[in-house]
A and B are shown apart, each in its own frame.
Chain A
């Protein structure tokens, strides 16, 4: 016994000195036509990214017959043999609110549609992810849908989890999936005030302490996207994605305000949107510092290191706002 003790002690010491495994990076791809630019390919290569969570389609309710149907399926413009593709299906919560929705039927149709896309594009998958902002009212149907989908597909299954579902998990319940992905963004309200709806540290603080006790293993999703909130007469009238802010700043129809918002000085059409004189554009984005802060916050509050960090979303446009090594820095936060 005495001889073994030092051995045990030594091996314990060893194990506690082993470095924690840093998470692996992945991206979300959220466009309806899959085609990678050179810069995008390069970024993936430089960061050794092999996995792309690809939005395959949304599910919504048909406006006249109220039945669930697939919206805007993705089409592929190139081969993806070098990547692991994980299809993501975004299902609107109202689909589960509807009394007509049958979870078995929906699971079968969803899986079949995924297979149709895979077949056409010669993609093979081992995993599926479902993205749905479910509520207390829809948890029964949604969780049942996930169970059925797992059973039918026999694939690894993950689901997105939003902050309120972490904090109030006793009410909203936990999906029976292999892992969850915490969407650590879109925390606030889209409003004409001065707050940032994508990341707000005050709001985040209210939820971070709940992370520790969340029973499901979580990976994390972090945002590198930006958008502008289109405001008219103090009210929000739309969200403008992928705004080339420099283009707007140098456009004579717009003027930069003191708070860095833009105001429309003369009405005009731009990129298919009508900007009326007097309208304002409020830019929202996540700075590099904030992004690193978000990662650190998560690292501090999660009980387990996530295996993956998934960045939303893969688009050259988004990369322009960050240093090239941002992704490596994010990994190092954990």
Chain B
């Protein structure tokens, strides 16, 4: 029997949740919510899985699951197991599953009719072969299914479909009478229990609180307090809520929350105080301490978790509910931490975080941990230790962690969580860093940066601590003037622009006798000597210092990288993809390009074939800029890739060579070509300056002035003096801007 549960209630509530989130997204804007934020406290460590959807989440309605969508399937496994137990030996599990969960209603009706009339048809005969039809348990099962499936047609109806009619009201009064009778006359305890639940469920979908509550009152004392009982209780609570008896409804939901773990997320969905008065009234309905605890336990999810914790602790320090609320408390406090290493000093960060953690919360958690009255003292010691670390009480934190270690179950997750927080207590305490510190930190750094990157227990939160420790250690090194170590732990863009820093890093990386700590720092660093030498090669190239460029490139494995197109080609249109796709006998490597540039420069120096060498050199220096087909020349880990590298826009070296070529040009065709190539450089300069600061251009293409091009000098020359050349015709064909320019002049 499939089950839907509190469909109306849960759906309304989850829709409210959906609509709420809808408003956020519809209106756009940055709500400042991060996933996980700076969390290093894994709630799953010591808290039962049934609380998991109620862990603190910044951006999901329910942690880990988003919205609860298990309404139809939540109890499938349990139901199967119950019925398999009852029908053991008389009905195979496969058939039990078929009748309960698959489309079996036609067969159920056929068999039920057989039981009612004793008439066999071909279907019945078929079934006789598979099933002991006359076994009393099988008969009970089938008859039960018959009733259950009638109700299911309403309870299981999909309210997510495109039907306007409200189908979830059940109006079959005969059915209700019959089912209650079935309950009363059942002799077998199992069947009686099943019929009891169907009766309540029926009254729920019939939407009568009066009938449901009456029946419940009459029968609850003799009903076993199992899952079915709490599912039934939830239906009653739902009806109370729909009748606007909020206090009663919330009180009942808290009972469900307390006693039925699979229904915790449902109870939390439906629990909903409307006004302070009905919340206080609900509290008055609680007769025992346990009932009061249950109310605070569920309310703590919505309201003030610290207040709920205090109330529960005062009523029953051994309550299991304390633990999930504690994780919420800690995760919520973590949200207030700020680690702005870019703008603040270490001492500022530590002092602000210390203030950010609420002082009363801190004192209370520490006290409860010390009292050791809860049922998971190790969780409280862990939480206290973490807060003590954040408050700067490092020695005391060590004691808390030691106690946690002594008392806790040694699961992989627990061990990892403890190690992480203990380690944080170590590095967060440092005001400076020396060789002794480094040796002490090393094992945990290796674990955090290397081991955790490969494999960790499920749900273990370590990423934030990993990042923060790197930034913290980097800041310590920077404070002490050790820029190389600072850079290794937290790479900053622009580090290599400073030659002293670059050389210092090269020296360090080339060291053969690095300490174990230095080796670790090197292994977590994003760049290596190949990257740096290639970077230097590119820098030298853009200063036209080719011998130096070659020397650097030879020391880098980037030297073998192949360019996609011919870097010496200078076309009318800059079509990189076209150039890359053109067939080439051999593709140039980065080093080869530099070597050939050197050759051509040597030729120029002795005035050998000035024009062609100058043009080719111009093309080469053009193509290695952002505008050319050999961007790959300067791409690399330090320079970046693609859009990150738009800064390589300077075509002045190319321009210089094109001007040399122009000076040496003999024919009109040659001169025309040079003027055009110079025009390209002029154009690139114009675009670079124009769009340098226009942040919206890349997305909206919003050209306020609507100017696509100017009358470049080259254009003017071509038009005025070289209109009789073949080249002029080619440009007219291929360059739309030139064509426009020429035609507008007419």
Contact = CB atoms under 8 A, between A and B. Distances in A.
Contacts of B278: 269
B303 A267 contact: yes
B160 A69 contact: yes
Interface string B18-37: 11101111111111110000
A236 B15 contact: no
A72 B15 contact: yes
Contact of B164 (A58, A62, A116, A171): A116
Interface stretch (A189-197, A296-304, A313-321): A189-197
Interface in B277-336: 278-279, 302-304, 307, 335-336
A233 interface: yes
B162 A109 contact: yes
Contacts of A171: 700-701
In this complex, the member of B67, B164, B276 whose beta carbon has the largest number of chain A beta carbons within 10 angstroms is B164
A235 B332 CA distance: 13
Contacts of A112: 162
Contacts of A233: 335-336
Interface string A38-70: 000000000000000000001010111001011
Nearest to B273: A269
A73 interface: yes
Contacts of A190: 24, 27, 29, 31
A233 B337 CA distance: 12
Given A63-B69, A71-B15, A272 B161 contact: no
Contacts, number: 95
A128 B336 CA distance: 47
Contacts of A73: 164
B163 interface: yes
A63 B66 contact: yes
Interface residues of B, number: 42
B275 interface: yes
B162 A113 contact: yes
A74 to B, nearest CB: 10
Interface in B131-180: 160-165
A112 B161 CA distance: 12
Interface in A68-98: 69-73, 92-94
B18 A269 contact: no
A307 interface: no
B512 interface: no
B272 interface: yes
Interface string A270-297: 1110101100000000000000000000
Contacts of B27: 186, 190, 197, 239
A253 interface: yes
B19 A271 contact: no
B265 to A, nearest CB: 14
Given A171-B700, A253-B276, A276 B67 contact: no
Given A64-B69, A267-B307, A274-B303, A189 B18 contact: no
B274 interface: yes
B22 A58 contact: yes
B103 interface: no
Interface in A155-195: 168, 170-171, 186, 188-191
B695 to A, nearest CB: 14
Contacts of A63: 14, 18, 66-67, 69
Contact of B161 (A69, A93, A186, A271): A69
Given A63-B66, A189-B28, A270 B162 contact: no
B702 interface: yes
A86 B391 CA distance: 60
B600 to A, nearest CB: 45
B336 A71 contact: no
Interface of A: 58, 60, 62-64, 67, 69-73, 92-94, 109, 112-113, 116-117, 120, 133, 168, 170-171, 186, 188-191, 197, 233, 235-236, 238-239, 253, 267-272, 274, 276-277
30 contacts: A63-B14, A63-B67, A64-B69, A69-B162, A71-B18, A71-B19, A72-B15, A92-B26, A94-B25, A109-B162, A113-B164, A117-B164, A120-B164, A120-B165, A133-B28, A189-B30, A197-B27, A197-B29, A233-B335, A238-B20, A239-B24, A253-B276, A269-B275, A270-B275, A270-B276, A271-B274, A271-B275, A274-B273, A274-B302, A276-B303
